Amino acid sequence: MRIVVTGMGVVSPIGTGTEQFWAAATNGVSGIRKITSFDASGQRSQVAGEVAGFDPATFLSAKYIEQTDRFTQLAMLATKLALEDADGLDTYAPERLAVSMGSGMGGFATFESAALRKFGNRPIPPFTVPRTMANSAAAWIAIKHRIKGVNLTCSTACSSGANAIGIGLDLLRTGRADAVIAGGAEGCVLPLTMTGFEVLHALATGSNADPARASRPFAKGRDGFVMSEGAGILILEKEEQARLRGAKIYACLAGYGQTCDATHIVMPDMSGQVTAMKGAIQDGGLGPESIDYINAHATSTPLGDIVETRAIKTLFGDRARDIPISATKSMIGHSIGASAAIGSIATIMALHTGTIHPTINLDEADPECDLDYTPNGAREKNPRTGLCNAFGFGGNNASILFTTLE
């Protein structure tokens, strides 16, 4: 039984909708700008990947807007786009449809707003808790689209979206669902959230005057990741049922690997990353020699990019230098729980179109990052298999394997 992707929806700093997102990605467009959603003059990091022109009133009623956090609204738009792309799921019974969502931070915009109101002796809105809870995006997707099957939320920091997609794969394989809406969403371009990452020395702070250059995965002199927001949603189905309803098929979701470093709460460990990638490949019935492309986690942190490079070299050996790699975050920044969901869409589109998008801002690579990162220009390579990596705080590592139908 093969599991296939029949619809995709993305809301990102470089475009809303797969067509717009992919055109910008292959052209190496940066979506990093000076922050506009709040006064960031007091922040050490004053740039971010914001979704420009996002207006929930164009697709949600006033009631929905009042009761939902920004991350939920981003998720709901991505879901709407994915369902439209898949031509709907009306052929399935509502009880056989599932939602598997990932978010590392949940409704933090609501949380920060409520905290400010509390300390300012102002009343807290009645929907503060429902807006804040991490499972609110999955719940509202189910309510909006009458999805009555399994409804799950995965919160494993930066690997949340990847694990949510992997859980979707498991739900279909085990027969607990006939189709799954799976992905991730995050909306935490926020002062408190960013300050928290700043004190960990995790954010880029040296490019406030040149935002488009701020996210520099694998580059010499990179100084941290750029906070971002967005959502990515996949529609997953069993191939036989997808073909019966005449759905178009983008790719197969072939494998999923997940590990925990069990070593440090924020520092990455190479062995856990190796095991996650190896697990995804084995789960898909393949070997390392079969991998044609890697969409790297590649946040642009000094340590993280080196550790991921070493992990790839350890698993693939001498062949690692022949595998094209690219970092979607070089253009959109790091959207935490949404990052691997958006990265999965980039991986699928690489297989679907034959084009690998570039890693931008890679004029001079870190000497310890010495692989083929597809620097600064897209490449026609026609990959047949692709890995999407996601490594998060808590030592949570996830890797997803996608393949073409052939």
List residues with catalytic annotation. 158, 297, 334
In the numeric block, the tokens 């971010």 are attached to 48
DSSP code of residue 262: -
CA distance 155 to 368: 31
Question: Is residue 292 within 8 Å of residue 401, measured between CB atoms?
Answer: no
Q: For the purposes of burial, counting CB atoms within 10 Å of the CB of 263, is it exposed (0-12), middle (13-18) or buried (19 or more)?
A: exposed
Strands 379-380 and 355-356: antiparallel
Strands of 261-369 (E only): list them: 293-295, 325-326, 355-356
Q: Please provide the DSSP assignment of 177-197 as one string.
A: -SEEEEEEEEE---HHHHHHH
Partnered with residue 237 across adjacent β-strands are 4, 179
CA distance 144 to 151: 13
Contacts of 122 (CB under 8 A, 6+ apart): none
Backbone region of residue 55 per phi and psi (left: phi > 0; alpha: psi in -120 to 50; beta: other values): beta
Strands of 117-178 (E only): list them: 151-154
Backbone region of residue 233 per phi and psi (left: phi > 0; alpha: psi in -120 to 50; beta: other values): beta
HSE-CB at 98 with a 13 A cutoff on CA atoms is 26
Q: For the purposes of burial, counting CB atoms within 10 Å of the CB of 36, is it exposed (0-12), middle (13-18) or buried (19 or more)?
A: exposed
DSSP code of residue 123: P
CA distance 149 to 300: 38
Angle at 291 between CA 285 and CA 295, to 5 degrees: 115
CA distance 129 to 142: 18
